[in-house]
Amino acid sequence: PVVPFGTGTSLEGHVVGNQNGITISLEKMNKVLSVNAEDFDCRVQANVTRKQLNEYLREDGVFFPIDPGANAAIGGMASTSASGTMAVKYGTMKTVITGLTVVLPNGDIINTGSRTKKTSAGYNLTNLFIGSEGTLGIITAAVLKLFPKPRGIYAAYCAVSSVSAAIELLNRARTESGDCVETFELISRLVMDLVLKHIPNSQDPLGQRYQHYVLLELVSTAEDNHELYNRFESILSKAMEDGLILDAALAQSEDQRQAFWSLRENATESQKIEGASIKHDISVPISVIPKFYE
């Protein structure tokens, strides 16, 4: 058995070595090979991390949107078919990878996919390797879609009356914002309590405890974002009138927005400190979430 190792941020044990096998570290395969901002794509080696890539792209007006909650490597994110906090708008690794370079078990090196927006040539081998967790070959490079960097980002931390109310809020936001919803995270009181207990300087944005919270973020690439901000306020106000939202805080600065995000990003760390058994990625269709949660 041959196990490729990237950054080691995965929580599901894919990179645990085999006593009778070989572990291959990809740590030196960390170069951005090319950026084609005009075509909204790039090609990177497997151990380029998402934060490294976005720092590299900082002046190009584009960014890579998949955020699994850790500074994971692109090869590992491809191998595990990672998703994350912005999947509601940008999808998962399956939707942003257009090609891969893979070393097969017999040593052959193959390139799958292409940089074109559409192609019907050959088998769809790219999606065969995405999510294969290193069992079919070792991913050494990937071609990724890039997206325009948002000019306006507005975040709200809301207490919702129920899980069903949260899903109704999501549906309204998606309908009324013109596909501007970038982030929608449902957070339970249990998780909030653990973060506030274990993570220094964490604060509840609403000042009192509720059973269900939502981190909702709208983005726009337009120069003038006053209309989106006003629309966001209107969505929140109407949802509060209808009893979907019990309380809400709309970030008034980037620092406040980052404070909202720290509550979400420290959820896993707070569970580890508590000694909780961490289970991940149980997925159901959006409309089924309330029934599943119950």
List pLDDT tens digits, range 150-180.
888 899 999 999 999 999 999 999 999 878 8
* CB-based burial label for 288 (10 Å; 0-12, 13-18, 19+): exposed
DSSP state of 270: H
Residue carrying structure tokens 């596909």 = 179
Helix (H, G, I), strand (E, B) or coil at 21: coil
**Radius of gyration over alpha carbons of the chain, in Å?**
20
**Residue 44: which H helix or E strand, with range?**
strand 41-45
For residue 78, is pLDDT > 70? yes
Cα separation, 292 vs 243, whole angstroms: 22
DSSP states along 173-241: HHHHTTS-EEEEEEEEHHHHHHHHHHSTT---TTSS--SEEEEEEEEE-SS--HHHHHHHHHHHHHHHH
pTM of this structure: 0.84
Give 3-state DSSP helix, strand, coil % of the chain, rounded to 5.
Answer: 35, 25, 40
Higher pLDDT, 11 or 80: 80
Percentage of residues of the chain with pLDDT beyond 90: 62
Helix (H, G, I), strand (E, B) or coil at 17: coil
List pLDDT tens digits, range 243-288.
999 999 999 899 999 999 898 888 888 888 988 776 666 788 989 9
* Region of 105 on the Ramachandran plot (φ > 0 left; ψ -120 to 50 alpha; else beta): alpha
Name the nearest CA neighbour of 206 among 249, 251, 147, 162: 249
DSSP state of 49: B
- For residue 281, what pLDDT is reported? 67
* CB-based burial label for 225 (10 Å; 0-12, 13-18, 19+): buried
Cα separation, 236 vs 233, whole angstroms: 5
Mean pLDDT, all residues of the chain: 91
Assigned token pair, 153: 């980002």
List pLDDT tens digits, range 198-228.
999 888 899 889 999 999 999 987 777 788 8
- For residue 279, what pLDDT is reported? 63
63, 54 Cβ separation under 8 angstroms: yes
Section 8-16 average pLDDT: 81
- Widest CA span in the chain: 63
Cα separation, 20 vs 159, whole angstroms: 51
